Structure 1
Amino acid sequence: MPTFPGLTHVAVTISDPAVSVPWYTRLIGADPVLDEDTGPFRHIVFVIGEDNLLGLHVFPSGLRDDGDFHPYRRGLDHVAFGCSSRSELEKWQRRLDELGIAHGGIVEAPYGSGLSFRDPDGIALEFFAAVS
């Protein structure tokens, strides 16, 4: 059996690119590397870390916030960005404070520490440092 591959990208559906793109640009500290209209949706992509991508999708027909899961809905439980240590988490906590982004403070667990916050659409995000 082959080794299970790592993640290359995460894409989340947003409601308003005029709000979300500047918010993510400030958070990440870099502009998107791609902003294209694919026809069915607008695809805005940021490079995060060394080789991962974060995509923002906007559907021209609007969000579908009713019923069962649909890719046009805001979704998933949360996206966690890996930190190498608790001290790196503390740096991100200070950065979120500088940006005026509300967060839940660093929370300790037996398996690691996390710092949770939300994007403009309420999508749950986290900086996470696993116990080494």
Structure 2
Amino acid sequence: MSRPELSGIHHIKIPVTDLTAAIAWYGKVFGFTVTMEFPDDDGVVRGVAGTVPGLGRTELTLRVNEQAAHGCKGFDPVSFGVDDRADIERWVAHLDALGLEHSPIIDASVGWLLVFPDPDGLQLHLYSWAAHGIDQSGRPGYGHAVP
């Protein structure tokens, strides 16, 4: 029997402490649009799902979970893809226009990388599909190909 195949990533769930603030932030940064709400047993909406331009069928979900949000602070669970360095530079301009802090453009293991925090301190990455051609294999913390 052969192994069944996956067909992509269905959704990315991000823990947040303030749902209203997170919806507004992900909306202005990524163009997030809410398409579904998840009310708890008490009728209070503590989770939403929606679309982000460029993610195709993959949805973004935000769920109130203060413990998880605090536990993920400083962690980088997801890297959103962009085509090349020019796209990273456009994101720098976009984040600057919004007055949001971000890293400088980083020559990462393979491509260019931009890092910035969401309102709860989750470190979001924008990583280019295009490679920069710099051999970073000797640097601690950087990846190298496995033979």
Same fold (TM over 0.5): yes
Report the CA distance between 1:38 and its aligned residue: 4.0
Task: State which structure, 1 or 2, has the greater radius of gyration over its C-alpha atoms.
Answer: 2
Check the 8 A contact 1:110/1:131 in 2, yes or no: no
Alignment match, 1:42 = 46
The alignment partner of 1:27 has SS state of helix
TM-score relative to the length of structure 2: 0.72
2:78 is aligned to 79
Number of aligned residues: 121
Q: Deviations over 1:32-62 (max 9, x none)?
A: 1222314387221121221111110014xxx
| Cα separation, partners in 2 of 1:12 and 1:30, compared to 1, 3 Å | closer
Cα offset for 1:106? Answer: 1.1
Identical-residue share of aligned pairs (%) = 27
User: 1:52, 1:17 → 2: CA distance?
Assistant: 20
2:119 and 2:19 mapped to 1: Cα distance? 10
Q: Which secondary structure state, in structure 1, belongs to the residue aligned with residue 90 of structure 2? A: helix
Give the aligned partner of residue 142 of structure 2: none
Gaps of 5+ in 1: 65-72
> What is the DSSP-based 3-state SS (H/G/I as helix, E as strand, rest coil) of the residue aligned with 2:89?
helix
Structure 1 runs, 4 residues or longer, greater than 4 Å off: none
Q: Which moved more, 1:1-10 or 1:19-28?
A: 1-10
- The normalised TM-score by structure 1 is 0.80
1:112-127 correspondence to structure 2 within 5 Å? 112-127=111-126
* Number of the residue aligned with 1:18: 20
Distance across 2 between alignment mates of 1:110 and 1:13: 27
Instruction: Specify the SS of the correspondent of 2:34.
Output: coil
SS class of match (1:104): coil
The alignment yields a C-alpha RMSD, in angstroms, of 2.0
Q: How far off its partner does 1:8 sit?
A: 1.8
Shift of 1:9: 1.1
CA distance in 2, matches of 1:120, 1:50: 24
